[in-house]
């Protein structure tokens, strides 16, 4: 038995298609090499001309046709249930944004790890906040793109306890290969306990919540480590060397500088970092939000 209800059907389709293919690959290659050996110019100096043979050609049109239709069929029957969600499936909203997965449970509780109860149908409603991502759980044999502006979905029944990799398979920018997390399959009791312990409305400062919501923390850490860009820790009040229109100058990180960095990130780029990586947050982060962010940054000076 596989890790999800789809594993068996998908793996059977793999076995059938690869099995038939291998048979033909080995068969045709063997025949080809035998001809090269048997009818080499040394052993067979004079070629014999042959007439076309319609019967033979019709045979090798018909047999592959039947075989590929068979392959189509097995691919289809194993796939079609993936689009029919059973009634009563547990809905979880997947929120994908540049380079973080978040899973929202009933009551707006969010978790960076997908925790699901064993043997229960799970419905994932896929939601992207920026570009296309794709949610892939290899062990479950499922994948569906997370397309902004489109309500895609996928579902599965976890059949085995354990931890499984979740990966993003549609290229989504700088840290695409780090956009991974885990799917944890637990018992129903463990699931209930985990869910009730999951904090609802966050106790985090408002500014941090806004930073997380806009995935700022995907590149700027809050603990002082360097991910892609400078860390937020100790940033406020610091003096930075920046490039402005190709010339270097020093600025103090204050309200004005933070505002211009959020709205026009390419204007003053800190020396040692590349232009063009960060997008503008004009229209995405309001002045109000910005004030809360600045308050938060002051608090982690």
Partner 1 sequence: MTEEKTHHPEPSYLVNTGKYKGLMSWLTSTDHKRIGIMYMYAMMVFFIVGVLLGEIMRLELFRPGQQFYGPQTYNGLFTIHGIIMIFTVVIPGLAAVFGNFSMPIMIGAKDVAFPRLNLFSFYLYILGAGIALTSQFLGNGPPDTGWTFYAPYSIQTHTNVVAAVFGAFVLGFSSILTGLNFIVTMHRMRAPGMTFFKMPLFPWSLYATAWIQVLATPIVGITLLMVVAERWFRIGFFDPSLGGDPVLYQHLFWIYSHPAVYIMILPAMGVITEIIPTFAQRKVFGYKAIAVSSLAIALVGYFVWAHHMYTSGMSPTARWIFSLLTFLVAVPSAIKVFNWVTTMYRGSIDLKPPFLFALGFIFLFMIGGMTGLTLGALATNVHVHDTAYVVAHFHYIVFGGVGFAFFAAIHYWYPKMFGRMYNFKRANWAFGFLFIGFNLLYFPQFIIGIQGMPRRYFDYLPQFTLGMQLSFFGGILLLIGIILMLTNLFSKKGAKAPDNPWGGRTYEWTIPSPPPLENFEVMPVMGPDETPYDYK
> Considering only residues 13-52, where is the footprint of partner 1 by CB under 8 A?
13-14, 17-18, 21, 24-25, 28-29, 31-32, 35-36, 39-41, 44-50, 52
- 60 interacts with partner 1 by CB under 8 A: yes
At closest approach, how far in Å is the CB of 237 from partner 1?
A: 28
At closest approach, how far in Å is the CB of 83 from partner 1?
A: 4
- 71 interacts with partner 1 by CB under 8 A: yes
Taking alpha carbons only, the member of 173, 179, 219, 207 closest to residue 96 is 179
8 Å CB contact between 121 and 90: yes
Tokens 């029944």 correspond to what residue? 157
Contact string 274-293 vs partner 1 (x = CB under 8 A):
xxxxxx--------------
Query: Segment 214-273, which members bind partner 1 (CB under 8 A)?
Result: 266
Query: Segment 178-217, which members bind partner 1 (CB under 8 A)?
Result: 178, 180
CA distance to 83, 142, 156, per residue, from 86 (Å): 10, 16, 10
Tokens 């499922």 correspond to what residue? 142
Element (DSSP H or E) covering residue 110: strand 110-111
Among 80, 192, 260, 286, binds partner 1 (CB under 8 A): 80
8 Å CB contact between 223 and 231: yes
Nearer to partner 1, 109 or 175 (CB): 175
Among 101, 144, 285, 292, binds partner 1 (CB under 8 A): 144
Among 157, 173, 209, 215, binds partner 1 (CB under 8 A): 173
Lay out the sheet containing 114-117: strands in order across.
114-117, 180-186, 162-168, 133-137, 142-146
At closest approach, how far in Å is the CB of 52 from partner 1?
A: 6
Return the range that interacts with partner 1 (CB under 8 A); candidates 11-19, 111-119, 182-190, 209-217.
11-19
Taking alpha carbons only, the member of 262, 296, 301, 298 closest to residue 282 is 262
3-state secondary structure (DSSP) of residue 107? helix
Distance in angstroms (rounded) separating the CA atoms of residues 98 and 73:
37
Residues in contact with partner 1, counted by CB under 8 A, come to a total of 84
Among 89, 90, 110, 130, binds partner 1 (CB under 8 A): 130
């Amino acid at each position: 038995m596989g890790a999800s209800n789809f594993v068996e059907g998908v793996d059977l389709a793999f076995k059938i298609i690869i099995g038939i293919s291998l048979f033909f690959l080995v068969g045709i290659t063997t025949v080809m090499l035998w001809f090269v050996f048997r009818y080499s110019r040394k052993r067979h100096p004079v070629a014999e001309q042959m007439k076309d043979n319609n019967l033979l050609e019709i045979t090798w049109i018909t047999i592959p046709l039947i075989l590929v239709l068979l392959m189509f069929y097995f691919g289809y029957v194993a796939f079609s249930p993936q689009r029919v969600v059973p009634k009563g499936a547990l809905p979880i909203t997947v929120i994908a944004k540049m380079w973080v997965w978040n899973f929202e449970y009933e009551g707006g509780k969010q978790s960076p790890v997908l925790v699901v109860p064993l043997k229960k149908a799970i419905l994932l409603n896929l939601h992207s906040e920026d570009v296309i991502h794709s949610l892939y759980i290899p062990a479950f044999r499922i994948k569906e793109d997370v397309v902004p502006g489109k309500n895609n979905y996928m579902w599965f029944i976890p059949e085995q306890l354990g931890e499984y990799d979740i990966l993003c398979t549609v290229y989504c920018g700088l840290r695409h290969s780090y956009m991974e997390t885990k799917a944890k399959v637990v018992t129903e009791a463990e699931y209930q306990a985990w869910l009730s312990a999951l904090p609802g409305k966050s106790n985090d400062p408002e500014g941090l919540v806004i930073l997380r919501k806009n995935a700022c923390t995907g590149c700027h850490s809050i603990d002082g480590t360097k991910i892609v860009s400078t860390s937020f820790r100790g940033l406020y009040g610091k003096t930075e060397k920046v490039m402005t229109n190709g010339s270097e100058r020093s600025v103090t990180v204050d309200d004005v500088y933070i505002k211009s960095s959020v709205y026009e990130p390419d204007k003053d780029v800190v020396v040692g970092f590349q232009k063009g990586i960060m997008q503008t947050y004009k229209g995405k982060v309001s002045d109000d939000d910005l004030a809360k962010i600045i308050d938060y940054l002051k608090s982690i000076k």
